[in-house]
Amino acid sequence: MTSCFILKKTNFTYYFYKVIKIQKIKKSKIESVNFDDLVFGKTFTDHMFICHYKNNEWLTPEIRPYQPLKLDPSASVLHYGQAVFEGMKAFKDSQEKIWLFRPDQNFERINRSAHRLQIPEFPRKYFFDGIKKLVKLEQAWIKKGEGNSLYIRPFVFASQPTVQASASDEYIFMIICAPVSTYYSGGEINVLIAEEYSRAANGGVGFAKAAGNYAAQFYPTSEALKKGFQQIIWTDANNHEYLEEAGTMNIFFKINDSLITAPTNDRILDGVTRKSIIEIAKSNGIKVEERPIKVSEIIQAHENGNLQEIFGTGTAVVVLPIKSFSYRGVSYKTNGIDELAIALKKQLIGIQYNQLEDLFNWTVKVD
């Protein structure tokens, strides 16, 4: 297809949008994939979306066969980590219809993250057209059934060949897709509450899905893993007194029948699953408190028998019960009754898989 332009008038400004160029693969690799044995994020579909930014504009977006990139060794991202990403999912319902879950939230968040990292905003039209066209092309990779979905990873990084320590003049925005089932096999995890390392600080980039936020967690998390903890719940960088988030998920506590989670701020990711769970809980008449939570409050609630549940939420993990937490060398087991986590997850995935009425208007059909 030749590239042409679509003219759009928004608030007295005319934008020229280029039509996405599509080059399809000759033969799909789908037959070589064992969908019963997927490891999260290791198998990718046949195509990818790519759009370059040069001379102050986003060039013609393309969907191409999935392939390695050619990158100059001095590409700025490799030296300074100027990169942000998103995580979102597409689901297939029993009628084979495909649904995205709250893609507007991911679009807004990737541009908020980009803004903080001095990366140019990506146009809404390219984001939505790119995702819809790519997902449609890869529909055979989306399996029906609870737990199965297509994980969509939009990301943008600095590609200018330079080791100058300043914002790049060139970027690449991409979308790749991975068929996935569960993130953690086993369905529940043990976590360590951070006492030494920190994930984010006031005025930093903790709220953004900046690549470096994740890299900085790898070392402490692998140390924690050796001790049997799958994740770290990060605490405030000042005194390690307040519970924040777990890197791959936001954290909820059910205490005395109230659902409590840390408020979003410049250190905590504004999770799409987090905000969806809050809305579902409220619509069920559950009291939700978004407020700072001290580690001591959780320990106290555990000791008094008032700590009923702990669970994490995130696009990849969905809703994940936490069976124990450890702090200052003491391990605290939750009571193992994950009633609320299970009920909220059921409603969330019911909406995602188009099994329950979408009263919130969250799902977007791909046709």
Residues lying near ligand COI in the complex (CB under 6 A) are found at: 87, 214, 248, 314-316
367/364 Cα distance (integer angstroms)? 9
Q: How far is the CB of 89 from ligand COI (least distance, A)?
A: 8
Nearer to ligand COI, 120 or 314 (CB): 314
Nearer to ligand COI, 76 or 250 (CB): 250
Alpha helix segments (H runs only) across the chain:
76-80, 103-116, 124-137, 211-226, 272-283, 295-304, 339-352
143/101 Cα distance (integer angstroms)? 16
Nearer to ligand COI, 40 or 197 (CB): 40
> What are φ and ψ of residue 280, in 5° steps?
-65, -45
Instruction: Catalogue the E-assigned strands of 159-301.
Output: 171-180, 189-193, 231-233, 250-255, 258-261, 287-290
Q: How far is the CB of 200 from ligand COI (least distance, A)?
A: 15
Nearer to ligand COI, 77 or 295 (CB): 77
Q: Which pairs from 31-39 meet CB under 8 Å and 24+ separation?
A: 33/179, 35/143, 35/148, 35/179, 38/179, 38/180, 38/181
**Any bridge partners for residue 7, and if so which?**
16
Q: How far is the CB of 315 from ligand COI (least distance, A)?
A: 4
Nearer to ligand COI, 230 or 308 (CB): 230
Q: How far is the CB of 151 from ligand COI (least distance, A)?
A: 7
> What are φ and ψ of residue 134, in 5° steps?
-65, -45
Nearer to ligand COI, 132 or 209 (CB): 209
**Any bridge partners for residue 180, and if so which?**
149
Residue nearest to ligand COI (CB): 87
Q: How far is the CB of 316 from ligand COI (least distance, A)?
A: 3
255/88 Cα distance (integer angstroms)? 30
Task: For residue 317, give the DSSP letter.
Answer: T
Nearer to ligand COI, 27 or 42 (CB): 42
Q: Which residues contact 165 (CB under 8 A, 6 or more apart)?
A: 79, 80
222/159 Cα distance (integer angstroms)? 29
Q: How far is the CB of 170 from ligand COI (least distance, A)?
A: 25
Q: How far is the CB of 134 from ligand COI (least distance, A)?
A: 17
Tokens of 48: 């990818």
Nearer to ligand COI, 148 or 315 (CB): 315
Nearer to ligand COI, 163 or 225 (CB): 225
Q: How far is the CB of 114 from ligand COI (least distance, A)?
A: 15
Q: How far is the CB of 360 from ligand COI (least distance, A)?
A: 20
52/59 Cα distance (integer angstroms)? 6
Distances (CA, A) of 354 to 88, 90, 95: 16, 11, 10
**Any bridge partners for residue 260, and if so which?**
253, 289
